[in-house]
Amino acid sequence: MKKRELICLAIATVAVVGLCSAFVARDRRTDDTTGQKGKDQPKIVNIVNFIRLLEPRDPKITEDVLYQTVVKQVEILKKYKLPGTFLLQYDALMDGRYQTLLKGLDPADFEIGAWWEIPQPMVEKAGLTWRGRYPWDWHADIGFSTGYTPEEREKLADVYMNDFKSIFGYYPKSVASWFIDAHTLHYLYQKYKIVASANCKDQYGTDGYTLWGGYWNQAYYPSKINSYMPAQTEQNQIPVPIFRMLGSDPVRQYDQGLGHARQGVITLEPVYGDAGGDATWVNWFFKEFVNGAAMEFAYTQAGQENSFTWEGMAKGYEIQMPLIARLRDEKKVKVETLEASGKWFKEHYKLTPATAVTISEDMPGSDKKTVWFNSRFYRVNLLWENNTLRIRDIHLFNENLPSIYETQKATSNECSFFTLPFVDGYRWSDRSTLAGLRLKAMKDGKEILIEGANPVVTDAVKGTLHVSWPLKSFKGSIEIDLDEQSLQLKMKGDQSVQWFLDLTTAGSGKLPFVDVKGHQVDCAFEGMKYSVGSKQGIFSRPHDSVVFRIAPEGNVVKLTLSGL
């Protein structure tokens, strides 16, 4: 994609040996407490590189520079015997150099698929009029399927698929993009039998693309009327898993850019010198990836689009690839193509499973810890900082919420996808006030933030993520259980503690809350009405500075987050 700020160039080299020796092997905590089940919980890495023919945003990035970038990517994957996926934009698909290079790859190790950005030759071959500023234009109403009517999208799909087959002898099994509308995705599945897709990580406004509130990582089956929305039922889902790309930083990406219209980027992408191009960050990311409780499986995508050039990504590639290869050899990760991951997902899951991303130890100098939990009904993010807990995010999923792009084409250079917010620690925050549900208690007649020690996250019980948080403010612990449809918090120990959860916001964003009553909060967003109920716990509005409070019943708060 991505103009995402400036392309990172000149970065000092880091010795691979130093990185490998710095990588901390699976620690005792993981073996003892996370309930890892080995092959039942694979840690999947896809190395996905996507290919554009040209880069109109920078005259120094010539077609040859872009081609040589892919040559280098192929060389390093072969060097470390790593399987990889190369996704071709249509103009690159039709270029003889890429055809020759990719046809020469061993299909046992390399997958060739489709990158679904829409350039001028593809549009004109479909009999449509090109509206772009350049032969490839990255605006959402021109360079993506959302910029075309449903009938035009089918014509574009036929052009790509027929030409791909004429070149490679088969239809591609993987089709990915920063975002693909559901109509196109369903058409590609029904007519061409694709088995996997991928879209961008969650982000707000980056490059004009907003995907916010979705299944945070791993993969999901999308709704037939909204490609960003996980479906709840088999009959209303497109049976093609969408994998979330780019290896988002679970701690820092969410809050990146608070107070601004657009987020920056903190991901595994090797071009970013403070993330995927930094040995310390990469070392930390993969240690937590390997060790963290993930429930069904963990997933991340490595690789980079050629638009950033080999000069920009070389250092990060040389850091990441030998490390991924070593973890593969140690059987700590499974490296495979996107097609293989799509087939595996479909063989194992008829519906989107519940998964988690766990960070039990942050980067040096930070005490933050976080858990992302996803199911087909909702997502939640728990964040510990300075010994306190903030529920930073809760979004509900509903397959009946249509995307506007299913019946209409985008008319601006930006594109937005949302789910149903209940807690939004990014959009309802500003640089001085961070929104969220905070765990508090009454002590000596005053409200305090409850403080605790390090949380212990386990996934030994199938379908449930358990968090035990030993307290410092009181004797006992908070026990948190997340399953497919509900979130429960229970005070264990001192039963006299008057504890509760308060939602506070910066007050600047429009909130979805319509009514707050005893066991239910009614909401409305994007024309849809929805509710969150409590099986245990009372909702109230104690004072103006609190949006709502949840007080426990029998020392338990249990929220129903099924979304339907």
pLDDT tens digits, 284-336: 999 999 999 999 999 999 999 999 999 999 999 999 999 999 999 999 999 99
Question: Between the CA of residue 16 and those of 275, 280, 286, 416, what are the distances in Å?
Answer: 16, 12, 15, 40
Query: Are 46 and 338 within 8 A, CB to CB?
Result: yes
Q: Which CATH number fits domain 16-348: 1.10.10.10, 3.20.20.510, 1.10.40.50, 3.40.30.10?
A: 3.20.20.510
> Taking a C-beta distance cutoff of 8 angstroms, is the pair 557, 550 a contact?
yes
pLDDT at 563: 60
Residues of the chain with pLDDT under 70: 1-40, 508, 563-564
Dmax over CA atoms of the chain, in Å, equals 76
Closest by CA position to 360, among listed 44, 47, 24, 42: 24
pTM of the shown model = 0.92
- Domain(s) of CATH 3.20.20.510: residues in the chain: 16-348
Closest listed residue to residue 184, CA positions, set 128, 130, 145, 233: 145
| Pair of tokens at residue 76 | 């390093």
- pLDDT, residue 16, reads 36
- Of the candidates 429, 425, 380, 384, the residue with the CA atom closest to the CA atom of residue 559: 380
Residues 6+ apart with CB under 8 A from 536: 488, 552, 553, 554, 556, 557, 558
Coil, helix or strand at residue 238? coil
CA–CA dist 218, 250 (Å, integer) = 12
Q: What is the pLDDT of residue 263?
A: 83
DSSP-based three-state secondary structure for 105: coil
Token code pair at residue 193? 């039998």
Query: Is the separation of the CB atoms in 441 and 450 below 8 Å?
Result: yes
Buried b / exposed e over 165-197, threshold 16 CB at 10 Å, is eebbeebbbbbbbbbbbbbbbbbbbeebebbbb
Among 1, 258, 40, residue whose Cα is nearest residue 137:
1
With 0-12 / 13-18 / 19 or more C-beta atoms within 10 angstroms meaning exposed / middle / buried, residue 492 is: middle
